[in-house]
Amino acid sequence: MGGMAGPYPIRGSVVLPEAELVWRFSRSSGPGGQHVNTSDSQVELRFDLANTEALPEAWKRRALQRLAGRLVDGVISVRASEHRSQWRNREAAAVRLAALLAEATAPPPPPRKPTRIPRGINEHRLRKKKRRSEIKRERSGKDWKRQAMQQGWG
């Protein structure tokens, strides 16, 4: 089998460790030609996240926490079957796993600094609200009794 296009960087100088990747191949589902029944082009890539030495400890903790729903006994698996060739599916699975780990190990965003609304903007908003409510109240026919009293009709 030809060489892979790795190494697959996760973030910075940390790369996906080839030695810790477990590959499984099976037949892809879906349409194909005469060749499809004999080729194992679907790829399943498994990576033991819980026992890896390739990731810094803080990254590993963060990834285990964030990917908890996808892990089975600390192992994460990624499938690829969109290409017809096994080699391209291997590439796709490895790239997908590297992207998943990059996202899961990313540091949390800095906390949002609360800001106050400037007083002038708030006052302007309240003036517009009051003006709008007056316009709507004038349109309403519910005040006809009071208006009639003021006009001297009632």
Confirm whether pTM is higher than 0.85: no
Identify whether the C-beta of residue 43 lies closer than 8 Å to the C-beta of residue 80.
yes
Residue 1 has pLDDT above 50, yes or no: no
Cα atoms found within 13 Å of the Cα of residue 116, Cβ hemisphere only: 3
18-22, 71-75, 130-134: which is most confident: 130-134
Name the helix (H) or strand (E) containing 77: strand 75-80
pLDDT digits (tens, 9 = 90+) for 35-80: 655 677 788 989 888 888 888 888 888 888 888 888 888 888 899 8
Share of the chain above pLDDT 70, in %: 81
pLDDT digits (tens, 9 = 90+) for 103-113: 888 888 899 99
Pair of tokens at residue 10: 């996760």
Q: What pLDDT score was predicted for residue 126?
A: 96
Residue 120 has pLDDT above 80, yes or no: yes
